[in-house]
Amino acid sequence: MKDRYVLKTAPLVLAATLLASTAARAQAPAAAPPPPPSVKTGQAAPDFSANYLTMGENGRPAFKTAKLSDFKGQKNVVLAFFPAAFSPGCTSEMAKYQETSGQFNTNNTVILGMSVDSTWANAAFADKLGVKFNILSDASRDISRSYGVFDEKGLVARRTTFVIDSKGIVQKVFMAQEALDPNSALEACALLKEVK
């Protein structure tokens, strides 16, 4: 009889425990915002070299390297760190950048996407979205760490966009939700074109 009592009450105890823990989480304060990146507005953007994959002239995949310093004195750069290829938010963000890429080009700006995913994963992601700008791989996490956007717990780069002028100086930084929509970065680049 005691065994039947335990069998009947065990699910009730489990349900009560789950309900209590859910209620406690619901009343807990909202998660703290992510820490700001270590690279700030007005500072020189750290130079980097990162790989991407493109189709070679022979129709075979070819690894290429992009360096931030290659654009110095020539173009503004929007460096958009995103957490993970193929995730819903990142898919939406990179698709919006592709939609507005012509406007960035008009403002003398190159778009560089960047994640800690492999070069192959980023190439497949870009292909799926029809993205024409380069999505770079920071598989070593060194670039994300140098900009202060690497999340050591989540093991991804936090969504952060840096608008870097043609002199290599960070002019604007957009984080989290604000970085999902490229219009803020586009406005900053339009202002840079006017100043030039």
125-146 pLDDT tens trace: 999 999 999 999 999 999 999 9
How many structural domains are present in the chain?
1
Tell me: the pLDDT tens digits for 169-181?
999 999 998 998 9
Check whether 167 has a pLDDT greater than 50. Answer: yes
> 15 falls in which pLDDT band (50, 70, 90)?
very low
Query: What is the domain-level CATH number for residue 88?
Result: 3.40.30.10
- In a domain, residue 165? The reply is yes
Residue at 9 is within a domain: no
Domain extent, residue 64, equals 49-195
31 backbone dihedrals φ, ψ, rounded to 5°: -60, 145
**39 part of a folded domain:** no
* 30 within domain boundaries: no
Structural domain contains residue 85: yes
Residue 64 lies in a domain: yes
Rg (CA), the chain: 22
Q: Is the pLDDT of residue 65 over 50?
A: yes
- Tell whether the model's pLDDT for residue 113 goes beyond 60: yes
The whole-angstrom distance between residue 9's C-alpha and the CA centroid of its chain comes to: 48
Positions marked catalytic = 90
Predicted structure pTM score: 0.81
The reply to whether 15 falls in a domain is no
| Short-list 2, 131, 136, 4, CA closest to 70 | 136
Q: Report if residue 20 sits inside a domain.
A: no
